[in-house]
Amino acid sequence: MRRRPERSIAARLLGWYDAGHRDLPWRRTRDPYRIWVSEIMLQQTRAEAVIPYYERFLKRFPRLASLARASEADVLKCWSGLGYYTRARHLHQAARRMGGAFPAGYEALRDLPGVGDYTAAAIASIAFGEAHAAVDGNALRVIARLTNDAADIGAGRTRTRFRAIAGGWLDRRRPGDFNQALMELGATVCVPRAPHCGRCPLAALCAARREGRAGQLPVKLRRQAPVKATEALVIVKRRGRILMWQRAAGSGRLAGFWELPSLSQLPQLRAPRVIGVFRHTITHHHYEVTVHVGSGARAVSPLRWVPIATLESLLLSTVARKAFEITAGGIL
């Protein structure tokens, strides 16, 4: 009797995963709190970039209760540098809402701030063994190629359909391992450009490979065009203090963060000179940031003189941190 295709996919995929996969810290636990933290951090961020932030965050907030007790400012400071700060605020809000007990089950997880279909399915399958298919960007790519499906993966109906396909392949005895294996395959073998089909455990079952179309899939039609912009920041020091300003509460995702002034905020600046340039990207916005130093500036609202000795305790934006890192002698 021939094996059903979905069983063949699950068996090959899990066999490949069991033979060796990336040793990521969140794969060494079944603690739902730690898995939840990792899944929130992994939203829109590569695993390799997440690791140091994940370890630092759990050292500072090792349990759900410690995160719930923390102030938002402390949570954001620990998250600083990882970006997409709404994720950290949602994490903190959800911890306080839980009341000390982590909710079990997909439906309860789905009700938490910042948790969508994918994140709820990932946590439910990995931590609680529930049979829900977790389909992220890597998994979408694998599904599109295996099925040779040229539908726009940016469309909600395509994602819903692909999630159902993955649900049909899902190994219900090992749903967490299956989900991680599918995502691992997309992250390390079935990569966006020049997929490594010769190393793929599912190559014999891949319809796109048979048609010579693997490199052309998946299709995503709704891409936002990149936006390029420039910014000029200024570091002004005087008597052990530095000129900065703080974003007001309610001013968006960076509310409460401290920033360096821009060149346009300091018309009275004397002898400005460039000390460095760096690049900073937020989604499809690409900034080239020039850092200046100068003197003679005044603390006109919203600017304030901040003691340099207190900077480490402040909630600094990533842009401000990058600017400080390139200063000669180092301010931080």
Active site residues: 39
What are the tokens at 53? 């932030």
Q: Is the dihedral of CA 40, 46, 47, 52 positive or negative?
A: negative
d(CA 86, CA 248): 16
Which H, E and C letters describe the chain, residue by residue?
CCCCHHHHHHHHHHHHHHHCCCCCHHHHCCCHHHHHHHHHHHCCCCHHHHHHHHHHHHHHCCCHHHHHHCCHHHHHHHHCCCCCCHHHHHHHHHHHHHCCCCCCCHHHHHCCCCCCHHHHHHHHHHHHCCCCCCCCHHHHHHHHHHHCCCCECCCHHHHHHHHHHHHHHCCCCCHHHHHHHHHHHHHHCCCCCCCCHHHCCCHHHCHHHHCCCHHHCCECCCCCCCEEEEEEEEECEECCEEEEEECCCCCCCCCCCEECCEHHHCCCCEEEEEEEEEEEEECCEEEEEEEEEEECCCCCCCCEEEEHHHHHHCCECHHHHHHHHCCCCCCC
